Amino acid sequence: MLKITGAALVAGLACATQAFAADAPAEIKIGTLYASSGRFASISMPVHSALKLWAEQKNAEGGVYVKAFDKKIPVKLVAYDDQSNTATASTLYNQLITQDKVDLLVADSGSVLTAPAVAIARDHKMFLYDQTGTGASFFSKDNPYIALMADPVSTVWPKPVADFVSHDGPGLGIKKIAILYSTNEFTGTQANAFRKFVKESGAPIEIVYDQGVPTETTNYTVIINNIANTQPDAVIHFGYAPNDIAFLRNVADVGVNFKMLFAIYAGIETELLEKNVGEKALEYVYTYVPPSELDYPVEFGMSMKEYKAAWDKKYPDGKIEFGFNATAGYTTGLVIEKTLSVATSLDQMELRRATFSLSGNLKTLDGTFALDEMGGQIGELTPLGQLRLDDQGHIKFISIYPHETATGKPVYPRP
Amino acid sequence: MLIYALVAGVLFGLYFSLVGIGLNLVFGVMRIVNLAHGDILMLGAFVAFGVVTLAGIDPLFAVPLAFVLFVLVGLVLYWVLVPRLQGSVNPEMLSIILFFGLSQVIEAVTTIFFGTSERSIQSRLLGTVFPPSG
């Protein structure tokens, strides 16, 4: 009797194992979009190239470990080009879900091209891996289908620069500030948050110029003239990379010397701005300090040094700049990898649970991955820094604020 | 600074007028909707970029070079495409499809050679009329 029971158990176990293995897919399909042309190409291609680098690296190792099937499975990136067009992006996000039936959905880079994905993913009950779309409206308590991977929500980003202006500004002589922003979800949210932080601080700061301009703006000369007429002590510009390029070039061309000038992408995509604006025009510009300048302790994935070496090996021609977005794409890959290693199935809500379980515990080259209850990223820092030139004329970062992470004092006013 | 803004405004105005006139001329005379117009314009900018970065000479030299180059390109496109288009039933519609395809080809080839990010030449390479106002 014992022999029969034992044989039955062994046979049952063998059948179960076979069924388990048979259920495992040949590949994990990760659907995503990228913009190879248009306004957002310069922030989209680094993110996508980084995700590709991660996928190729994992596949060379036999795939990623998927706990749901207790084995390594190769990943396949199903990627389409949205050409920076939101209408095209909407169609392609739908195609990824309904036609390609991808297992995981990853948004394109930036809030503008992420926006269509948020609504579509929610409608299809698909968990969205939001790479760098930080718009505040994406994250709400009634939408469980999103998590931000690699940079803080836009309402958190400008806190250090607002705190610097409010706390240290009056002592330096900053009393009047000008805010210029591009009217889109990313930079519009940052401008609103910055304005709110400054007003709530109660600091004796007057906002003498506060203007939104279309994201497509390419000539800022008249705007710069208007700003200069208000004689601000600090100019805060929130724009995408092409906006920052045009704005900083125009500032240099016009020859105006604002005492303090802040621009997001001077620090986020420094290589790109160096090529287009020049080192001299970036000197003394205030910006966010990117992860590459902050030595985070890495517990999962490559260190920044190893990653930069891998990037240079894979993309040696330098046509795609290595910057904040390149780090963001790789971080997305790491979060997906870790999620698959703890998720017990590929069900979208289980993927969400697994992703949220990493919050506070995953430390990568991009800092600590931590989510709030709505999926917004709150673990990663955006300290305020200032760009300086070293003896060879190369750009270097000086971290200014908060004081705990500061590596130097601000140069104010700009010489 | 105000003078700079005025000069920049006039230059931008002239630039967009030229682009608009070119597009209008092609459509008005030949009944062809050239959706690759902007891409040809971009190639012209890359000629200036190439002249500065590869040859290290003044971008003004790009003007005659681009002129000769794109006259040749225009003639080839004209001889190969235009008689066929104008002989068709609906040249406007067919030209939209054809030049959309050409635009995609130009964008893809440019991406392969130059990458996807912005490329610029120094603003003051041509010099400046007005000294910086400080």
ipTM of model: 0.75
pLDDT of residue A28: 97
In this complex, do A319 and B123 lie within 8 Å of one another by their Cβ atoms? no
Write down the pLDDT at residue A17: 47
A93, A106 Cβ separation under 8 angstroms: no
**∠ CA(A278), CA(A134), CA(A293), 5° rounding?**
45
Q: In chain B, which residues have their Cβ closer than 8 Å to the Cβ of A222?
A: 5, 9
Instruction: Give the pLDDT confidence score for residue A294 in this predicted structure.
Output: 80
Q: Give start and end residues of each alpha helix (H) in A61-149.
A: 86-98, 111-123
* 3-class SS of residue A386: strand
Please tell me whether the peptide bond between A413 and the residue prior to it is cis, using omega within 30 degrees of 0.
yes
Q: Establish if A4 belongs to a structural domain.
A: no
Predicted local confidence at residue B4, as pLDDT:
77
- What's the CA gap between A198 and A80, in Å, rounded? 41
Name the domain count of chain A.
Answer: 2
Residues A241 and A317 in one domain: no
CB contact under 8 A, A272 and B118: yes
| Partner-chain contact A224 B2, CB within 8 Å | no
Closest by CA position to A187, among listed A211, A153, A154, A165:
A154
Beta-carbon separation of A225 and B2 below 8 A:
yes
Q: Are residues A88 and A144 in the same domain?
A: yes
A293: DSSP letter: G
pLDDT at residue number B53 = 86
Return per-residue pLDDT of chain A as tens, 415 residues: 445 555 555 555 454 444 455 588 999 999 999 999 888 998 999 999 999 999 999 999 999 999 999 999 999 999 999 999 999 999 999 999 999 999 999 999 999 999 999 999 999 999 999 999 988 889 999 999 999 998 888 888 899 999 999 999 999 999 999 999 999 989 999 999 999 999 999 999 999 999 999 999 988 988 999 999 999 999 999 999 999 999 999 998 888 999 999 999 999 899 899 989 999 999 999 999 988 888 788 999 999 999 999 999 999 988 888 988 999 999 999 999 999 999 999 999 999 999 999 999 999 999 999 999 999 998 887 899 999 999 888 999 999 999 988 999 999 999 9
Q: Cβ-count burial of A231 within 10 angstroms (0-12 exposed, 13-18 middle, 19+ buried)?
A: exposed
CA distance A393 to A374: 44
Q: Residues of A at the B interface (Cβ-Cβ below 8 Å)?
A: 35-37, 41-42, 44-45, 219, 221-222, 224-225, 228, 241-242, 245, 249-250, 252-257, 272, 275-278, 317, 319-321
Q: Does B107 touch chain A (CB under 8 A)?
A: yes
CATH label of the domain that carries residue A277: 3.40.50.2300
Q: Which ranges of chain B have pLDDT less than 50?
A: 131-134
Task: State the Cα–Cα distance between residues B131 and B1, nearest whole angstrom.
Answer: 10
pTM of the model: 0.82
Chain B nearest-CA residue for A271: B117
Same domain for A220 and A313, yes or no, is: no
Q: Does B116 touch chain A (CB under 8 A)?
A: yes
Domain that holds residue A182: 159-293+382-405
Residues A149, A14 share a domain:
yes
Name every chain A residue with its beta carbon within 8 A of the beta carbon of B121.
none
Same domain, A225 and A276: yes
Residues of B in contact with A224 (CB under 8 A): 1, 5
pLDDT of residue A144: 96
